[in-house]
Amino acid sequence: MDRDQLFPLLDQFNIETPTWAYADTGTRFGKYLQPAAASTIDEKLADAGTVHRYTGCCPTVAVHVQWDFSVGVDATATASVAAKHGIRIGSINPNFFQDQVYKFGSVCNPDESVHVHAHRHMMSCIAIAKAVKSKTLSLWFPDGTNYPGQDDIVERKHRMHGALRQWHEAMPPEMKMLIEYKPFEPAFYHTDIADWGMAYIFAKDAGPNARVLVDTGHHLQGQNIEQIVALLIDEEMLGGFHFNDRKYADDDLTMGSIDPYAVFRIFHEIRNAAELHDRDVSDIAYMIDQSHNLKPKIEATIQTVATAQELYAKACLVDRKKLRDAQMATNVIDAEQCLKDAFFTDVRPMLQEWRKKKNLEPDPLAAYRASGYEAKVSAERESSRTTRGSNPSGSYA
Amino acid sequence: MDRDQLFPLLDQFNIETPTWAYADTGTRFGKYLQPAAASTIDEKLADAGTVHRYTGCCPTVAVHVQWDFSVGVDATATASVAAKHGIRIGSINPNFFQDQVYKFGSVCNPDESVHVHAHRHMMSCIAIAKAVKSKTLSLWFPDGTNYPGQDDIVERKHRMHGALRQWHEAMPPEMKMLIEYKPFEPAFYHTDIADWGMAYIFAKDAGPNARVLVDTGHHLQGQNIEQIVALLIDEEMLGGFHFNDRKYADDDLTMGSIDPYAVFRIFHEIRNAAELHDRDVSDIAYMIDQSHNLKPKIEATIQTVATAQELYAKACLVDRKKLRDAQMATNVIDAEQCLKDAFFTDVRPMLQEWRKKKNLEPDPLAAYRASGYEAKVSAERESSRTTRGSNPSGSYA
Amino acid sequence: MDRDQLFPLLDQFNIETPTWAYADTGTRFGKYLQPAAASTIDEKLADAGTVHRYTGCCPTVAVHVQWDFSVGVDATATASVAAKHGIRIGSINPNFFQDQVYKFGSVCNPDESVHVHAHRHMMSCIAIAKAVKSKTLSLWFPDGTNYPGQDDIVERKHRMHGALRQWHEAMPPEMKMLIEYKPFEPAFYHTDIADWGMAYIFAKDAGPNARVLVDTGHHLQGQNIEQIVALLIDEEMLGGFHFNDRKYADDDLTMGSIDPYAVFRIFHEIRNAAELHDRDVSDIAYMIDQSHNLKPKIEATIQTVATAQELYAKACLVDRKKLRDAQMATNVIDAEQCLKDAFFTDVRPMLQEWRKKKNLEPDPLAAYRASGYEAKVSAERESSRTTRGSNPSGSYA
Amino acid sequence: MDRDQLFPLLDQFNIETPTWAYADTGTRFGKYLQPAAASTIDEKLADAGTVHRYTGCCPTVAVHVQWDFSVGVDATATASVAAKHGIRIGSINPNFFQDQVYKFGSVCNPDESVHVHAHRHMMSCIAIAKAVKSKTLSLWFPDGTNYPGQDDIVERKHRMHGALRQWHEAMPPEMKMLIEYKPFEPAFYHTDIADWGMAYIFAKDAGPNARVLVDTGHHLQGQNIEQIVALLIDEEMLGGFHFNDRKYADDDLTMGSIDPYAVFRIFHEIRNAAELHDRDVSDIAYMIDQSHNLKPKIEATIQTVATAQELYAKACLVDRKKLRDAQMATNVIDAEQCLKDAFFTDVRPMLQEWRKKKNLEPDPLAAYRASGYEAKVSAERESSRTTRGSNPSGSYA
């Protein structure tokens, strides 16, 4: 594949960054604060706009309703702030864990009054989505139990079905509902949507606009994620991704930092579906979901985006004709080598060229660093926090 | 729950033993041979009949077509041998790994001639099933790949869909097709039916008589198996179980030997579905699938059956009214304690009583040992093997 | 084993509860607050004393220096408060993660000034230990890195060696240093003391009073914990335990809630070492380290202590003579059955009898609940928190 | 790093191939036979010599005594065959699982007569080693148990200590004893040398020439292998490697086929130890231990060797000065990027150049394929097997 074929694919490859990537995050043992961390939605949108300015492929930002919107504040005003920073509001993420009523779950809680609370929040999310013209609801539920017997697993399943059906009905027809799964944390014995199979069943049941959302960190050790991706595309049920990496649990490390070949194989299955199986992969939502606990947040995001582009470009380079021939001939070594050859091709020069063509700096991280942005906002935000007298967290942990 | 309620439940609790439990098995490092191991189908059926004689709850035996039936031998003759030993042929298990053509898979193989080979074998299995009046086809596919790129994951999925649909069509209407999943081994990079979600999709697509088969050893570490069981019952898609235990991989150890509380929780979900959610659980197939590499095979099987009955009885004892009340009150400790109280009740005296009522020896293992069966068949089988001049394996490894 | 032999073993079985078990804890997604949660050291000691009053086997309490002691407050005063509640201060736990300087580690941090900070804290801990007459320093380090290359693994090892040697030297001769290991969290790529082998090497190097501390939740899936315990006793390097349970990661659930047979096997190895291998197991420190995020904290602690006693009693009941004979005869089934028979013996009646003999209520949880303690302290503590105007966390997350 | 610095490092990088890589291997479900598979030691040595001829860096071959040597055959004759093929005998691997007496273990077996059997085999191994001038004994024990209680873990530990001490004493002074660990398989409940920490303790106890052998596939999921490597080098206890790759268990796939970045990080730690910590890494034994079940065996070996060279070369390219500076400045992104930059450098052109300089074909796999070797030996070996009338397996499974 030459540049004439690669560059249009890169042109179409956009990846959404989340507001919480710019805020302070941590572990249950605490947060290490960064002076440049964004606290307010305005700061977060400024940061997201900055990332887009240097990368050229992050035109939208995912928002967390609980943290990023306030009662009584017009959501369209937030959309205008985003526009001012050169970006748009992307996926809308409700929050079903922050309020104390969610102790035993949100929509799966045995207490029906909690369902009402969750429902009201969800209706706000849909209203905000409409206001900011977002077409994506991205749903993750922390629901589950910590101990065997704690609640009736089947009852909880029925409660979840009920909520999703109701919300799907409340969505405008052009909206997509993405349903995320996770095998553990914050619930430890069972989570109500534990794996892709459960998310699939819930999505099928909810309605025609529901899809499965794959968070790469939400898998048990040893699971083959690219197979799940290939299967969901084949079933026309893949909604999108939350990208991150991990060594053991849901570590929310930067994408490709631990196992870049695994990410490459995911992109390979997507390109395979498009090129060999005639699947429309154009509406798969690529989103980052990371916690930048140690790395400077904007730098980490730019590094992630560059990594995503590189690994995607490598996947585009796979010689699919040769691969198919080797597969049909059961030539295992040659087939595997098609992937290896693409993966070990150094695509960085091509990406630099692509950036230049798009009037972007060839090395976005270096250019960002040279801009002095971080030092500037550190000073401003330190001062704002002092003025406000507290540190509104705007993120988990 | 008192004995009047428990005993009818135990009366209905049957568990199928497999012919390969009585044959020599091992690991890829080799087999340690036991003199009493069964080599022929007659020997295996004699052993299965012996287990039923002492336990009273193993009236059927699972057969492996490749190992237990021969071309030109009338399958009904085998059914007669079973009848002679007081048992019936239960589930029919085809074999898609033994023939050299299966190197790159059976129905998922890129080579279509292998599909023909597999199809012919499957048609024999259905014919045998009809002949022996078995209503259960138990399908496990070793299909998968060892290396990224080795084959097209999506093409393979389509090949599997095609085979299953075709075979479902070929089944008589009263027959059930159970589809087993496994995350690894003998294929190491990807297996074509890797988890319950994939088995569910294949079963849904195959036709109305297809169900999912849960092998307890075929899960990644940390997966909540009882949740999968509860969900499949709720979706009316649970076909049955292959029971065994393991510490890390698919170790095929005896049921309940590593984590008995986990098995108890599976039975708890089944009883819960029956008693609280009005589900018909009467046709769930309980089957053992173990490799008795070190333990004497019949002793191991009797021990397993007793363990299964004990853990099932404990699950029957759960005070479901109290449990439900505690759950609705979000009293986590009391809800959990309902399970713990049942699990730590010593049910062995009740089982002895149940056995006496059924005219069985109260301690089946001791009674079997006292019978001298093992010494007798060891001598006979050693001699037969010498006469035959070789050791027809009749099992994997 | 009859009661005359069991009861003295139970008399010697004490288990230490930690102050943080009584405080609000959570996950990185937040804390669900409980009105009865203890915030101050006085409240925590009152709760620990209450647990001891109902269980009779929790005479000491583990303290977390950062959360439980304040600069300028006399530690002996705290010891007096403990005494007032009928308990003593047990192990002293420093904190190497709360201060912002620990972002890149404590003693393994590349910045030497952080070592000084950690050292000063450790010297306070030793001083407090001396003051309250505690003989146990329990060291857990959150040190590690999140990304490949982040720091030099070997340099960090040398820094850790240096700190531990220095601190061992600073300990009075009767003090023990327990070194804990953990494979992940809060560091995600590598932790500086990742497993028992690393803890062993650090302890051997630190000096003669250093031992390994086994936290049951700090193991990778599939690891055989009881083997590690048996080995460490054989090497005279086992210092003690942090007990808890988990399904996947370091979930800090209540002991025995997920896999009670695994806990039983740990106690079995300890009794085996004592009875068959002449090991002195009297100074193994049994400690609870759990996060009671959902369960009421005192109830959860009492439930845990009762579970620990039951599982320990079951392990005492193993017929070791019969076990040894079966092992030497390579009779796998009978040997295993020795463990199963003990595990499935219902020891609850024996424990009730033991409690009566010790003038304790036979059902400690019921008795505690009947006392009205929780309602009383909830009211008082809600009021205190309002008065103080804030919620001093006194725990992680 | 330029070619002048890289090429000498490549010159010193040799990797040993094992005879069993050239023989038919499989899983417990059976073996798929390859016509070109080597059955006899002569065939295996011919294949190993062929690999060395095309790669230039495989001058030694590991032998499995049970499979490769026969009673009464002069070992020096085998060494001469090796010499004829341009290679030497490398590490000597005893076999403690093939004989039926090993059912319950070899040196850890409760039956002392088995120890005698194992000891006699080990003495043969040492004699063969002396005869063929090998300086490496590579010890892997399949010892362990399948069920809780099956045997006394501590007794077994003492039996292992005894055997290793005795054998260390029997070794000539220039011989090294490498002790391998494995967490499971073929024993499933516990293995007597389960992890690096146990291998370390056994090696320390055995004597000054004992070291730990790291098989990359013998780790639990989530374990950080490169940290273990770094630590063992620092403790002067790393003996060498058995390289292979895996997705879940001990899959014995070709090195770098699943997670090449992980292999790179291992080599990085070795180069770091050499360049920054002044460690002598020259005597680390690099060995391949793979089962080529599907891939053609010689092709798979050549592919593996090329992969090893590439990943090693990438590790050599890490800019260690820049890395150290970034680490000391806690610049996580720049430090990580030093590794990524090296890993994503395309080293294939450099390796081609290095091969040309060494008078090797630049593309060893293509050159081997062009040679017609496989077709030639397939015909010869098929014919030999027919003549011999059986297929001497000469490998596990």
Cβ contact A91:A287 at 8 Å: yes
Closest by CA position to A42, among listed A22, A14, A26: A22
CB B142 within 8 A of CB B187: yes
Q: Tokens in use for C229?
A: 């315990």
pLDDT of residue C72: 72
CA distance linking residue C306 with residue C365, whole number of Å:
9
Separation of alpha carbons B353 and B309, rounded Å: 13
**Which of 3.40.50.300, 3.40.190.10, 3.10.50.40, 3.20.20.150 is the CATH number of C3-388?**
3.20.20.150
Whether residue B247 and residue D102 make contact (CB cut-off 8 A), yes or no, is no
- pLDDT tens for residues B149-172? 999 999 999 999 999 999 999 999
Whole-number Å distance between alpha carbons of D273 and D281: 8
Q: For residues A59 and A85, is the Cβ–Cβ distance under 8 A?
A: no
Chain C residue with minimal CA distance to B249?
C222
Query: How high is the ipTM of this complex?
Result: 0.97
Extract the tokens encoding B174: 């009263």
At residue D161, the 3 state secondary structure works out as helix
For D300, phi and psi rounded to 5 degrees? -60, -40
What DSSP state is assigned to residue D245? Answer: B
Given CA atoms C45, C50, C51, C53 in this order, what sign does their dihedral have? positive
Rounded CA separation A106/A120 (Å): 12
What is the residue-wise DSSP string for D316-372? HT--HHHHHHHHHTT-HHHHHHHHHHHHTS--HHHHHHHHHHTT--SSHHHHHHHHT
Closest CA in chain B for residue A151: B327
Residue-wise pLDDT tens digits, C256-270: 999 999 999 999 999
Residue A297 Rama label (left phi>0; alpha psi -120 to 50; beta): alpha
Three-state SS for D148? coil
A30 CB neighbours in chain C (<8 A) are 97-98, 396-397
Which chain C positions have a beta carbon within 8 Å of B296's beta carbon?
Answer: 333
Of C20, C24, C27, which to mutate for an interface test with A (greatest number of A Cβ within 10 Å)?
Answer: C27
Torsion (CA) B247, B252, B253, B257 in degrees, nearest 10:
60
Q: Which of D67, D221, D246, D248 to mutate to test the interface with B (most CBs of B within 10 A)?
A: D248
What CATH topology corresponds to D3-379?
TIM Barrel (3.20.20)
Taking the Cβ of residue B247 and every Cβ of chain D, the question of whether any pair is shorter than 8 Å is answered with yes
The 3-state DSSP class for residue B61 equals strand
- Residue spans of alpha helices (H) in D133-208: 153-170, 196-206
Q: Please check whether residue D103 touches B, CB under 8 A.
A: yes
What helix, strand, coil percent values describe chain B, rounded to 5?
Answer: 50, 10, 35
CA B358, CA A359: separation in Å to the nearest integer?
A: 85
Output the pLDDT for position A388.
Answer: 84
Residue B18 corresponds to which amino acid? P
Class at the top of the CATH hierarchy for domain A13-318+362-388 = alpha beta
Domain locations along chain B: 13-318+364-388
Q: What residue ranges of chain A have pLDDT lower than 70?
A: 390-397
Give the per-residue pLDDT at B66: 86
D112, two tokens: 């002392």
What pLDDT score was predicted for residue D390? 61
Instruction: Report whether B259 contacts B266 (CB < 8 A).
Output: no
Give exposure, C134-150, as e/b (b: 16+ Cβ within 10 Å).
bbbbbbbbbbbbbbbbb
Residue B395 has pLDDT above 80, yes or no: no
Dist. CA A206–CA B117, nearest whole Å = 41
Backbone angles phi, psi at B319, to 5 degrees: -80, 95
Give the amino acid at A252.
Answer: D
Q: What whole-number distance in Å separates Cα of residue C262 and Cα of residue C269?
A: 11
CA gap B374, B385 in Å, rounded: 16
Which 26-55 residues of chain B touch chain D by CB within 8 A? Answer: 26-30, 32-33
Question: ω before B18 within 30° of 0 (cis)?
Answer: no
**Which of D222, D224, D333 faces A221 most closely, judged by CB atoms?**
D222
d(Cα C174, Cα C172) in Å, to the nearest integer? 6
Q: How many angstroms from the chain centroid is the CA of residue D211?
A: 14
Q: What pLDDT does residue B397 have?
A: 46
Cβ-Cβ contacts under 8 Å for D36 (sequence gap 6 or more): D296, D297, D298, D374, D377, D378, D381
Mean pLDDT of chain C: 96
For residue C17, list its beta bridge partners.
Answer: C61
Query: Quick one: tokens of B302?
Result: 């009797």
Residue C2 has pLDDT above 90, yes or no: no
Map residue B179 onto helix, strand or coil. strand
What's the residue count for chain B?
Answer: 397
Q: Give Cβ neighbours of residue D53 (< 8 Å, ≥ 6 apart).
A: D86
Chain A contact for C221 (CB, 8 A cutoff): yes
Query: What percentage of chain C has pLDDT greater than the value 70?
Result: 98
pLDDT number for residue D397: 46
Question: Kind of pairing, strands D176-180 and C88-93?
Answer: unpaired
Give the CA distances from residue B73 to residues B39, B79, B140, B387, D105, in Å, rounded to whole numbers and listed in that order: 17, 12, 24, 21, 41
Q: Which residues of D touch C227 (CB under 8 A)?
A: 153, 190, 194
Give yes or no for a contact between C125 and C178, defined as CB atoms under 8 angstroms apart: no
Q: How many CB pairs under 8 A join A and B?
A: 154
CA distance A325 to A318: 13
Longest dimension (CA), chain C: 69
Distances (CA, A) of A287 to A16, A268, B373, C6, C80: 4, 17, 65, 60, 56
Q: What is the pLDDT along chain D (397 residues), one digit of tens a residue?
A: 788 999 999 999 999 999 999 999 999 999 999 999 999 999 999 999 999 999 999 999 999 998 898 877 789 999 999 999 999 999 999 999 999 999 999 999 999 999 999 999 999 999 999 999 999 999 999 999 999 999 999 999 999 999 999 999 999 999 999 999 999 999 999 999 999 999 999 999 999 999 999 999 999 999 999 999 999 999 999 999 999 999 999 999 999 999 999 999 999 999 999 999 999 999 999 999 999 999 999 999 999 999 999 999 999 999 999 999 999 999 999 999 999 999 999 999 999 999 999 999 999 999 999 999 999 999 999 999 988 876 545 555 4
pLDDT for the residue D243 = 98
CA distance D366 to D374: 13
Place of tokens 């490894």: B397
D68: tokens are 């490769």
C56: tokens are: 């009779």
Write the residue in D224, D260, D336 that is nearest to A257 by C-beta.
Answer: D336
Residues 6+ apart with CB under 8 A from C329: none
* Whole-number average pLDDT of chain B: 96
Residues on chain C touching D103 (C-beta within 8 angstroms): 330
pTM over 0.95, yes/no: yes
CA distance A134 to chain D (A): 33
Residues ≥6 apart with Cβ < 8 Å to D277: C154, D233, D234
Q: What 8-state DSSP symbol labels residue B362?
A: S
Q: 3-state SS string over C12-56?
A: HCCCEEEHHHHCCCEECCEECCCCCCCCCHHHHHHHHHHHHHHHC
Q: What pLDDT, in 10s, does the model give residues C280-327?
A: 999 999 999 999 999 999 999 999 999 999 999 999 999 999 999 999
Pick the CATH number of B13-318+364-388 from 3.20.20.150, 3.30.390.10, 3.40.50.2300, 3.30.70.1450: 3.20.20.150
- pLDDT over threshold 90, residue B3: no
- In the prediction, which pLDDT does A395 show? 56
- Give the strand pairing for B30-31 and B26-27: antiparallel
CB B36, CB B378: distance < 8 Å: yes
A362 with A352: CB under 8 angstroms?
A: yes
**HEC secondary structure over chain C:** CCHHHHHHHHHHCCCEEEHHHHCCCEECCEECCCCCCCCCHHHHHHHHHHHHHHHCCCCEEEEEHHHHCCCCCCHHHHHHHHHHCCCEEEEEECCCCCCHHHHHCCCCCCCHHHHHHHHHHHHHHHHHHHHHCCCEEEECCCCEECCCCCCCHHHHHHHHHHHHHHHHHHCCCCCEEEEECCCCCCCCCEECCCCHHHHHHHHHHHCCCEEEEEECCCCCCCCCHHHHHHHHHHCCCEEEEEECECCCCCCCECCCCCCHHHHHHHHHHHHHHHHHCCCCCCCCEEEECCCCCCCCHHHHHHHHHHHHHHHHHHHHCCCHHHHHHHHHCCCHHHHHHHHHHHHCCCCHHHHHHHHHHCCCCCCHHHHHHHHCHHHHHHHHHHHHHHHHCCCCCCCCC
Instruction: For residues B101 and A139, give the distance between their C-alpha atoms in angstroms, rounded to a whole number.
Output: 46
Task: Please give the structure tokens belonging to residue B326.
Answer: 């505690």
The residue of chain D nearest to residue C110, with distances taken between CA atoms, is: D328
Calculate the dihedral angle through the C-alpha atoms of C365, C367, C373, C374, rounding to the nearest 10 degrees.
30
> Which of D185, D188, D295 is facing B253, going by the closest CB pair?
D188
- Report the Cα–Cα distance between both ends of chain D, in Å, rounded: 45
Tell me whether residue D27 is exposed, middle or buried, using C-beta atoms within 10 angstroms of its C-beta: 0 to 12, 13 to 18, 19 or more: buried
Q: D319 vs chain C: nearest CA distance in angstroms? A: 11
Whether the Cβ atoms of residue C90 and residue C100 lie closer than 8 Å to each other: no
**Averaged pLDDT, B60-74:** 88
Asked if A335 reaches chain D (Cβ–Cβ under 8 Å), the answer is no
Alpha-carbon D243 to chain mean position: 5
Nearest residue on chain A to B155, alpha-carbon basis: A277
Q: Can you read off the two tokens belonging to residue A135?
A: 């077409």
